[in-house]
Structure 1
């Protein structure tokens, strides 16, 4: 466990020695994660700016350990999550590692998700104010880190989404919990198309709470060191939130995405007089047929589940089944490894995905089930 007041590294910091004319030079690897104490504030700083602060397994484990320690530390009043650099809070999990492990060590992926989803639930029920500054890019695993926080702050630069269907995967880290509880079928639209939303959209959809102009973030962080989180955010939040552009699209979204039959939904989108609806159909048809079919079923099931823990346990079943199939490896290959952007999905059409294929993703894992502890929901 980390000790308060220090800076920690989630991965080994090694000195790499190179010889040049008989002289050894030492280079120190920058830590992937910084855990700091500043007054009453405990800070989690994701520190992989070149990788858009993507999460690795060691980072997840160290964040969880820090949260456990700080929960019992009376000198910690508030926890703050931020990202290094000027591009992202967090762009998600390290999908190159997921790709490698899917091919060579599937048990590592299973443990990665078990630890990540356990951390997501830990954040949701955290007994102290947990403030997430959701500035700039917040995708996938970054939504899992921030979207369950007690105080979720967005800016005019926020770009938030769950892009998993693009790589043949499904929204996870509690993403189906959040999206299934958005107004109408706005979450369904975002999940199937992998589209992103603005900070104002995130507030309207229930994925964020407060809007703070990016020029005031440094001042907010400084104030969090001295006064309670709610008061600090209220002092810096904008008096009015910009319009949420997605709300203006809700009429056609709710009409087209109604029901549980994906081919019917796509047909409605294709036949809509609204150009954005037809664009949405094109976007969905480019995704993995299995991924979008299972995503729709995941969202509908998540609506009826009673807690985030229930949803995360469902997502764990689905994640293991998806990564055992062909499309996750193929999707990551096409988008990140070879970058040819031409994945060959199996099967290739939505019509070829049977109801039995979809339902198999939700079957019990038996002894491999993820069983998360239940706790009283903490006050927001």
Structure 2
């Protein structure tokens, strides 16, 4: 197991530490990074000297901004298999994290979005800070919440997950805790001390020992905006069509409903309808693997969808922030347009 320029692997006491090291790109994930992380986790799992794994991002701005969508965009344009290979290996990593046999401590300090949520929210010991900005912003780039988010979001309280998935808006530590995406809030300035404390645990330390240690350093995250607006969220986002959701939001008074409706109005109509259907399917799914299989099929459909290329162009290539969605309205997106994203990928990631 070797470090690379983009992922630094180290052992410190009883801790195996994985450091994402693309700070200029907000630690966005490439295929080599996914492979290095996977390899490190596999080796730490069987190393009797390692009690826990710690995953963190380098740089001042955040943990991980997601997958490198510029590379996925390029692969799709070229017709290569690079995007599919990335998704397959990333999703397998997400699943492996959910089943990891040792404490998986992830420091969601700063920006934690998209693929960064996949690296963190499936873990056993998820730490946010006062700097955390967590989001699944994919409807804004003609994509959908992936990396197992269609398993996680439907399991948030009430309809909070539907709000998160459709709006794509960033939330803070208190909201991440409320939504079930994190377990503890620790002050950002205290993280180096926490890392040293975990590393000082004996190799025989259990998940309960790690939990107890983190709890001694946990702080109050404050009030959750999502919790404070739960009544509005649950009324509006219970709808089974995006149109129904917007109709209810229009009848609600208050800034929160107006902001939510305004944001949704600017998202890709196709992505909104796809996301809502995936979230509703995820609600009745039996496990994470089933959702990841479904997401992979949708990913392959995205490669033939105008809005993905247009959304990435507007966000990260030309950076004009002015995507021209097609179809341009919810009314123009037919049910059959969404059906094609539900063709299962072959072979599936996980056997049924």
Corresponding position: 1:312 with 2:292: yes
Say what the alpha-carbon RMSD is for the aligned residues. 1.3
* Candidates 135, 148, 166, aligned match of 1:161: 135
**1:210 and 1:237 in contact (8 A); partners too:** yes
SS at match of 2:245: helix
Aligned to 2:23: 49
Distance 2:344 2:71 in 1: 26
- Identify if the C-alpha distance between structure 1 residues 138 and 321 changes in structure 2 by more than 3 Å, giving closer, same or farther: same
Say yes or no: does 1:359 pair with 2:339: yes
Counterpart of 2:278? 298
SS in 2 for 1:148: coil
Distance in 2, Cα, partners of 1:344 & 1:304: 34
Counterpart residue number, 1:133: 107
Map 1:266-281; keep pairs closer than 5 Å.
266-281=246-261
TM score, norm. by length of structure 1: 0.88
Q: Which range is displaced more, 291-300 or 172-181?
A: 172-181
Which of 206, 214, 232 aligns to 1:233? It is 214
Instruction: Pick from 306, 316, 325 the counterpart of residue 326 of structure 1.
Output: 306
**Greater Rg, structure 1 or structure 2?**
1
Alignment of 1:164-179 (within 5 A): 164-179=138-153
For the 8 Å contact 1:114–1:370, the answer to whether it is kept is no
Distance in 2 (CA, whole Å) between partners of 1:96 and 1:162 is 17
Q: For 2:282 and 2:332, how far apart are their aligned partners in 1?
A: 24
Partner secondary structure for residue 36 of structure 1: strand
Q: Distance in 2 between matches of 1:206 and 1:118?
A: 21
Equivalence for 2:118: 144
- The C-alpha deviation readout for 1:268-312, integer Å capped at 9, x for no partner, is 112322232122112112111100000000000000001111111
Give 1:28's aligned residue: none
Q: What is the aligned length?
A: 345
Q: 5+ unaligned residues in a row in structure 1: which ranges?
A: 10-30, 375-380
C-alpha distance in 1, partners of 2:192/2:175? 23
Q: Distance in 1 between matches of 2:334 and 2:351?
A: 34
Aligned to 1:224: 198
C-alpha separation in 1, matches of 2:165 and 2:46: 37
Alignment of 1:176-191 (within 5 A): 176-191=150-165
Query: Residues 249 and 257 of structure 2 are in contact (CA less than 8 Å); yes or no, is this contact kept in structure 1?
Result: yes
Question: In structure 1, which of residues 263, 271, 289 is the aligned counterpart of residue 269 of structure 2?
Answer: 289
Between the aligned partners of 1:206 and 1:91, the Cα distance in structure 2 is 19
Tell me how far apart the structure 2 counterparts of residues 241 and 373 of structure 1 sit (CA, whole Å).
40
Q: Mind listing any 5+ residue stretches in structure 2 that lack a counterpart?
A: none
Q: Give secondary structure in 2 for the equivalent of 1:361.
A: helix
Question: Retained in 1: the 8 A contact 2:315–2:321?
Answer: yes
